[in-house]
Structure 1
């Protein structure tokens, strides 16, 4: 029987982070759970215990707060003496053009997604370098390889996460026992879309084809052991990336109308506000987003576009 590993997960109170914690618990690992909201973390911790985790440690932490991340990493190492796998899943989303998203919301998306990943690396990497082994996996996004309408803060943050992983690999080549993984899902059935800040004329939804958070979590944990595995999670990701790089003129012309019908909900009521970007909101935290069938949503959006153009 293998020795349980110590797995630290950020964003563990919902979505991909919750799925990662559950998967690590199911194989008998020690799980260290970080997120802003303690009640949701306690819910996930109880689920992890029931799934067979060797132990659970709940550390309410805002990854945008460097001192908080330092304290959490210190507490985890004090408990277990090491960190074997760290998976950075914490993330928030804001919809709206750059001029429409309030500066504090825009900056907070970058602080959580990009600076939070850097804060995590800043305090985790020295621990792993001292150990001589360890894996840090950061969850990015297909959007970290593209440009899409009305998501400028998120796009910038996820491009940065992808580059951060590459930089960490270059900077730590003198420690061959360390690995740095990157996972880039497309649409995922998580609550993040309903929790997003919204300042545009429609709300977001996971774009087709939609994968489960469990699938992304499984890839993240697999990449921790085998960083050469494909980073993209989603059947259409490579095709979309190819269009963006090989046919930029066609991509730029098509992405607007396609994004509206595939990655937004044109019939849902729009309520402008910061969502959970500035403060945690426990009400929607869950493993899944339960947004229904993506193809049905696309068909509904197409009907709405036709209705608006014809006035019927």
Structure 2
């Protein structure tokens, strides 16, 4: 499927992967409809998309509101005539011991990350089905394959996103709708503001767990799925390694992930106050793609970090298991 004449709706487009994806589609000549809670950030992103050569429409939207997401689809059709591609990308996260995180925050993560995708799929699929073609892309995470400690709600949500994609593919097939594709993207650690925006009740600063990959790499994968749809795509060498390890040795992989999170995802040197992050109120400002986690290092450096991280984690996990 060609990209340059498509109408693409993207949730979570004010920052991070969503914003990078909007810019990537705009650069290919697509019309992009940007949705998120922050009007200022959306409008700035829309202007940037237009500077890249695309047409853009900013629609402030809270994806937990089903009516608002339906209105997002209506506005996309009213402006551009149709919906060809829908990218569910809005997400929030929460860190903390399972028995100590506030339950309203736990529910909020699931509401945004799971029900937000449900609302997006329900808004998009009637348009795609009617035309008999199109692509629904759900951005999940590698933690949808290998869960992490202290991030229970986020991990649950990303497992659910994978399940949603599989179920929708099966249903479309049974209904004989061959031209509508549902794809799931599984990024490893990506350089976005997600970690700064996280709700945190660990007492330790949340940092991006190395190796870190640029958001533009995920955006390229999403654009690639429109051209050649695939069931699932893992972005990042470490992510592919974890998927392979989880298939061969799931128990050991769980232990390795536990050690890796404790050693490199939560700072041992920098304390952090309790905060609900951006769960209930969006951040301020124009928004950014990158979070300052050095996601633009050269590929050779990332590969070296990946190898070092795997070796170090295996060694640490073996010490724990003794």
TM-score of the aligned structures, taking structure 2 as reference length: 0.87
Distance 1:229 1:118, change over 3 A: closer
Count of residue correspondences: 297
1:151-200 Cα deviation digits (max 9, x unpaired): 00000000000111111111112111111111100100000000000011
**Pairing 1:78-97 to 2, within 5 Å after superposition:** 78-97=78-97
Check whether the contact 1:31–1:57 (CA below 8 A) recurs between aligned residues: yes
Q: Hey, what does 1:134 align to over in structure 2?
A: 134
Rounded Cα–Cα distance in structure 1 between residues aligned with 2:91 and 2:20: 14
1:248-289 Cα deviation digits (max 9, x unpaired): 332343332221223222223302110001111124831100
Q: Hey, what does 2:241 align to over in structure 1?
A: 239
Distance 1:178 1:150, change over 3 A: same
Q: Hey, what does 1:37 align to over in structure 2?
A: 38
Q: Pick the aligned partner of 1:208 from 207, 210, 221.
A: 210
Q: Hey, what does 1:107 align to over in structure 2?
A: 107
1:12 and 2:13 aligned: yes
1:161 and 2:185 aligned: no
Rounded Cα–Cα distance in structure 2 between residues aligned with 1:58 and 1:24: 15
What RMSD over aligned residues (CA atoms) do the two structures have, in Å? 2.1
Q: Which runs of 5+ in 2 are unaligned?
A: 296-301, 313-322
Rounded Cα–Cα distance in structure 1 between residues aligned with 2:251 and 2:116: 34
Rounded Cα–Cα distance in structure 1 between residues aligned with 2:148 and 2:161: 17
**Pairing 1:161-200 to 2, within 5 Å after superposition:** 161-173=161-173, 174-200=176-202
Q: Hey, what does 2:48 align to over in structure 1?
A: 47
4+ long deviations beyond 6 Å: none
Q: Hey, what does 1:267 align to over in structure 2?
A: 269
Check whether the contact 2:44–2:286 (CA below 8 A) recurs between aligned residues: no
Check whether the contact 1:181–1:224 (CA below 8 A) recurs between aligned residues: no
Check whether the contact 1:98–1:153 (CA below 8 A) recurs between aligned residues: no
